[in-house]
Amino acid sequence: MEITPINKTKNVQEIVKQIIDKIKSGELQVGDSLPGERALSESLQVSRPSLREALSVLEVMGLIRIRQGGKTVIAPIDMKPLSALLSPLLSSDPKFDADLVHFRSVLESDAVRLAAKNGASEELKRIVVAMKDTVDEGENIASSLDIAFHREVFKLSGNLFLIKAMDFVESLLYYSVQYNRSHILQKKEYGIALLNQHTDIYEKIKDHDEDGAQFAMRLHLEFVLDVMNEEGL
């Protein structure tokens, strides 16, 4: 890998930019290892503290993974670190929950249609069965299963961009789902309704009913939004 010496006045930014440029050009591929810290700092002609800071920035961005022992590898595209950083900021907005539900509706209505075209998985079935078994056992389990269900729907869509979009919203969804389900599940009828809705979506996907799956998903998200409004969430 050809390394360009860095302008000392912009060490960290230039290191980050050079690594990103090499990922964009294809010179660095997912799974490739960067040179060791000493060799890389000498090639870039930067201090090791500046290099460590730049690598930390790249790690937060989700572009690299620093493994135990100091080995640094190029990571697959992962939107979760970015959404994890944005979640606390966005969730403080009064419109956060309602806008997130609307955004999910746009994404998930297409994702579930593609999922129905492809068919259900054993994992989606397992999640639905687990939801049935745990609906009365506490919000944390229900929240994690709810997120897992929607994640699996995106995965079943087979669409790269929808899957990556789900990666981006997952941290936001965790904030919203955990908080809102903690209120919704205080009323047993809400919890049962949510369980029935997820079961219906699963059945439509399993039966390759694209229109039915899309309609069921929209009804589910409309229900969530209606409950949020009724409960003042």
Tally of domains within the chain: 2
The pTM of the full predicted model, rounded to 2 decimals, is 0.66
**Would you tell me how many other CB atoms lie within 10 Å of the CB of residue 52?**
14
Residue ranges of alpha helices (H) inside the chain are: 11-25, 37-44, 48-60, 80-90, 96-118, 122-134, 139-157, 160-184, 188-206, 210-231
- Among 50, 74, 98, the domain boundary falls at 74
Residue that is last in its domain, among 74, 108, 129 = 74
pLDDT digits (tens, 9 = 90+) for 91-120: 778 888 788 888 889 999 999 999 999 999
Answer yes or no: is 134 within a domain.
yes
User: Which of 28, 50, 74 lies at the terminal end of a domain, its last residue?
Assistant: 74
Domain containing residue 22: 8-74
pLDDT tens by residue, 170-204: 777 766 665 565 566 566 777 788 889 999 999 99
Same domain, 50 and 129: no
Dist. CA 135–CA 148, nearest whole Å: 14
